[in-house]
Structure formats: C-alpha cells, structure tokens
Amino acid sequence: MTSRYTVEEGGRLNNFAIEPKMYVDSTSRTGFTEYAEKLNGRLAMIGFVSLLALEVITGHGVIGWISNL
C-alpha cells in the first residue's frame, strides 16, 4: 500500500501533495461527430433567435433591413 504523505525538501510532512489521476480524452472532435452536431444546432438556434429579435426591434424582416442599408 502506498503512503499518502510526502516529505518536502525541508523535511516537513506534506499530506496535500497527492497527484490527481490524469484523464486524456482521445476522441476526435472533427468531422460528423455528436459534438459537432450539437454545436451546429446551438449556433443555428442562436442565429434564428437573433433574426427574430432583429425583426421585433426594427419592424422589418432581414431582407427589408438589408435593403434599407
């Protein structure tokens, strides 16, 4: 059984120096993955809501707003 205590350079007991277990996620985040699909859906929802907000604020749709510029 390993000891959970370590001794510092000065000879003092240090019981908080336990290294955490490292976890590396090796799954790919490129291509048609579940992560990419969720991100794409969330960005589409943000875009749709912002277009609705633009129409409510200006009183014109997107095409009317662009043609007035």
Has this prediction a pTM greater than 0.85? no
> Which uninterrupted H or E stretch holds 14?
strand 13-14
Per-residue pLDDT for 37 more than 80? yes
Cα distance between residue 31 and residue 19, in whole Å: 35
Q: Rounded mean pLDDT of 10-16?
A: 73
pLDDT surpassing 80 at residue 36: yes
Place 16 in a pLDDT band, splitting at 50, 70 and 90.
low
